[in-house]
Structure 1
Amino acid sequence: MKALHVITGLGVGGAEQQLRLLLRHLPVECDVVTLTNPGAVAEGLAADGVRVTHLGMGGNRDMGALPRLTRLIRSGGYDLVHTHLYRACVYGRLAARLAGVRAIVATEHSLGDSQMEGRRLSAGVRRLYLASERLGRATVAVSPTVAERLRRWGVPAPRIEVVPNGIDLTGFRFDPDRRHRTRRRLGLPEDAYVIGGIGRLAPGKRFDVLIHALAGLPPDHWLVLVGGGSEESLLRRTAQEAGVADRVLFTGERPYVPDGTPGPDLPSLACVMDVLASPSPEEAFGLAIVEALASGLPVLYASCPAIEDLPADPAGLARRVRCDAAEFTAAIAATRARGAGSRTTPEAVRHYCITRSAAQLMNVYATAVSQPLSPSPRKAGSS
């Protein structure tokens, strides 16, 4: 089987890095097309030996991208096209059908109750999504919560497959030597109690809540924010105004796997932390939380379908907290008072092992490829 993955961009983000990790475990020949922004993840994929093509799409209404993508799919001789993120799903599904591809699968990474990929869920967004969804064979939801949201939107239940995001359990295993080296590299005091926040620095992630929570904690508490985005300058100003700027460390975007990028990778930064806090009130999965659990960290979260969908409680390490600064201040203080745990991976988290997710996705691929090809949009419209 030969597959093409079409994604909106390849900057450092959850869906983008999940794609790179997945391709390392899929027993399928895979190429990748990014519509825009061939960033750090594109470089990582190329280092892994994956062919990456930048389509050079100019914006959401760059209709010239559609014939370019169609020609690329047709010339590649692909058995299956797998699309990721909203814009790539809309253009990729249509281009694949026009190219006569045998099977089309899409993964819905970030559908919330009120937003998708940071954009408000308007009636127009929903109509376009559903129109393009009908062109595919299956839509993969990264959690049962997302699957239910898709059903409420109008996606037929038989077309929805649940394949959770996967993590590299070995990569996130806690290493005390790596903790010491990385803390020293970041300039953290030896006795610092480190609160971690991981994700895009975007309004919906509500990292301002953690900054205000830090202001209510003793001076040996630090906040390490891992990620990049449009809110960084505002968050820095918030830290200044709260009087904690000297205890807030912004690491920028960090890769999931070592790839030669200067600075520590994400698993090393997880080792540095003493607790992971996620104040985002609306998540589609909660990948950073699962990765923190794999590192043996206690986690405080406002929303995390991945935890709610686990078959067993992850050893009591996860606690739900309302998205409020005072609530997080109290929860962090209580977590510290309980003391450090053993930093071992809870058995329940193995439910999200990347090899398991890859095997589940291969079952979706096999079913999609085995189904007969329905008429292309062009042929259907001419009858």
Structure 2
Amino acid sequence: MRVLHIITGLGVGGAEQQLRLLLRHLPARCDVLTLTHPGQVADGLTADGVRVTHLGMGGNRDVGAVFRLARHIRAGRYDVVHTHLYRACVYGRIAARLAGVRAVLATEHSLGARQLEGRTLTAGIRALYLATERLGRATVAVSPTVAGLLRGWGVPDRRIHVVPNGIDAHRFRFDEIRRKEARAFYGLREDNYVMGCVGRLVPTKRFEVAVRALALLPPDVRLLLIGAGPDEERLRRLAEELGIADRMLMTGELACPPDPLLPDPRQDAPDLPSVLSALDALAAPALEETFGLAALEALAAGLPVLYTSAPAVTDLPRQAAPRARRVTGGAEAYARELLLLHAAGPGDRAAPDAVRHYSIEHTARHLMDVYTAVLSGHDLEASP
């Protein structure tokens, strides 16, 4: 089976890194085409032996990209076309049909009730999404929450299949040595209580809530902002205004998963699993998440997790992640919960049952079932 994955870009992001991890476990011959912005994840895929093509799309008005993409699909003689992220889903579905490929599916990574990939949903975006969705045979939702939103939009139930994001849990397992090494790298004392936030530094992540919470916490508490993005300077200025700039550290983008073929550009910088071992708690204050991969990775590292939105957690029974707690409100609410965690001291760093539920191997097997169904032209039994 030859599969072409089409994605909007390959910079560091949750959907992009999930695609790379998935391709390591899919028993199919997979190529990747990125419409724009090949970056660190493109380099990683190439290091894994995956053929990556950059279409060089010049923006939403580059209509010729559809025909270039159709020619690429036709030349590759692909059995299945699998699209990821909004722009790739729109252009990829049209191009696949022009190329004569009917086994087309899309994974919906970033759909929320009010936003799509961090942008406000408009009637125009929704109409174009629904019009092109009909050109495919299936839409994969990364959580039951997303499946419910798709049904609410009018996507037929028989076309929706829930295939949750997966995690390579053993890579994130807590390690005392990695904890000490990462803390030493960032100049953190062993007696510092360290909370972290993981993700793109963009307004929708609401990381300013964690920055403001830090100002309400004891002087021994530190904050690590793990990621990069356009909100970096604003968050830095906020910390200076609050007088806590010396207690907040920004790590930039970190290598994940550990990759000996693609070392971090800083050579000696810890990778994401090492930094998660160095933390004492994770804060995830975004109002709307499609899945909540950062929360799941933190749980795999045995961390207590405070979140506002994390379908990966809320779609499971409460006992599957007993140290994950939903927090409504802003900085004061997060500060109160962090004070309780701080006072309670370190707990067991074993991963909860929720982590085992999201095995990447299970995700890959389930997705292969969907591929087989779209190839045969038959619908799978709709996912719950």
TM-score range, shorter chain: over 0.9
CA distance in 2, matches of 1:186, 1:247: 11
Alignment root-mean-square deviation, CA: 1.0
Q: Partner of 1:260 in structure 2?
A: 263
- CA distance 1:359–1:311, shift in 2 (3 Å): farther
Which stretch shows the higher mean deviation, 315-324 or 226-235? 315-324
Matches within 5 A, 1:273-312: 273-311=279-317
Q: Secondary structure at the match of 2:6?
A: strand
CA distance in 1, matches of 2:321, 2:89: 37
Q: Partner of 1:381 in structure 2?
A: none
Match of 1:345 among 306, 331, 351: 351
CA distance in 2, matches of 1:122, 1:288: 27
Q: Confirm or deny: 8 A CA contact 2:288 2:309 kept in the other structure.
A: yes
CA distance in 1, matches of 2:270, 2:60: 34
Q: Partner of 2:95 in structure 1?
A: 95
Q: Partner of 1:38 in structure 2?
A: 38
Runs of 4+ in 1 over 6 A off after TM superposition: none
Q: Give 1:11 shift.
A: 0.4
Query: Per-residue displacement from partner, 1:180-228 (whole Å, max 9, x unpaired)?
Result: 1111112212211110101111111100000000000111101001111
Query: Per-residue displacement from partner, 1:148-207 (whole Å, max 9, x unpaired)?
Result: 001111111111000000011110111110111111112212211110101111111100
Q: Partner of 1:8 in structure 2?
A: 8
CA distance in 1, matches of 2:310, 2:245: 28
- CA distance 1:348–1:312, shift in 2 (3 Å): farther
In the comparison of the two structures, how many residue pairs are matched? 372
Amino acid aligned to 1:341: G
Alignment partner of 1:222 is 2:222: yes
Q: Partner of 1:56 in structure 2?
A: 56
CA distance in 2, matches of 1:82, 1:213: 41
CA distance in 1, matches of 2:125, 2:254: 30
Q: Partner of 1:163 in structure 2?
A: 163
Amino acid aligned to 1:19: L
Alignment partner of 1:77 is 2:77: yes
CA distance in 1, matches of 2:362, 2:317: 15
Structure 1's unaligned 5+ residue stretches are 373-383
Overall identity of the aligned pairs, in %: 63
Query: Per-residue displacement from partner, 1:311-330 (whole Å, max 9, x unpaired)?
Result: 45234110010130000000
Q: Confirm or deny: 8 A CA contact 1:281 1:323 kept in the other structure.
A: no
Q: Give 1:348 shift.
A: 2.9
Query: Per-residue displacement from partner, 1:213-245 (whole Å, max 9, x unpaired)?
Result: 000011110100111111111011111111111
Q: Partner of 2:29 in structure 1?
A: 29
Q: Partner of 2:210 in structure 1?
A: 210
Q: Partner of 1:379 in structure 2?
A: none
Q: Confirm or deny: 8 A CA contact 1:209 1:323 kept in the other structure.
A: no
Matches within 5 A, 1:368-379: 368-371=374-377
Amino acid aligned to 2:111: L
Q: Give 1:77 shift.
A: 0.7
Amino acid aligned to 1:265: D
Alignment partner of 1:174 is 2:180: no
Q: Confirm or deny: 8 A CA contact 2:313 2:321 kept in the other structure.
A: no
CA distance in 2, matches of 1:234, 1:265: 25
CA distance in 2, matches of 1:48, 1:323: 42
Amino acid aligned to 2:297: E
Q: Secondary structure at the match of 1:170?
A: helix
**TM-score normalised by L of structure 2:** 0.95
CA distance in 2, matches of 1:81, 1:264: 36
Q: Partner of 1:118 in structure 2?
A: 118
Q: Confirm or deny: 8 A CA contact 1:12 1:254 kept in the other structure.
A: no
Which stretch shows the higher mean deviation, 255-264 or 174-183? 255-264
Amino acid aligned to 2:230: S
Query: Per-residue displacement from partner, 1:77-118 (whole Å, max 9, x unpaired)?
Result: 100000000000000011011101141010000101100111
CA distance in 1, matches of 2:157, 2:244: 48
Amino acid aligned to 2:131: A
Q: Secondary structure at the match of 1:243?
A: coil
Alignment partner of 1:232 is 2:235: no
CA distance in 1, matches of 2:303, 2:159: 36
Q: Partner of 2:134 in structure 1?
A: 134
Q: Give 1:310 shift.
A: 1.6
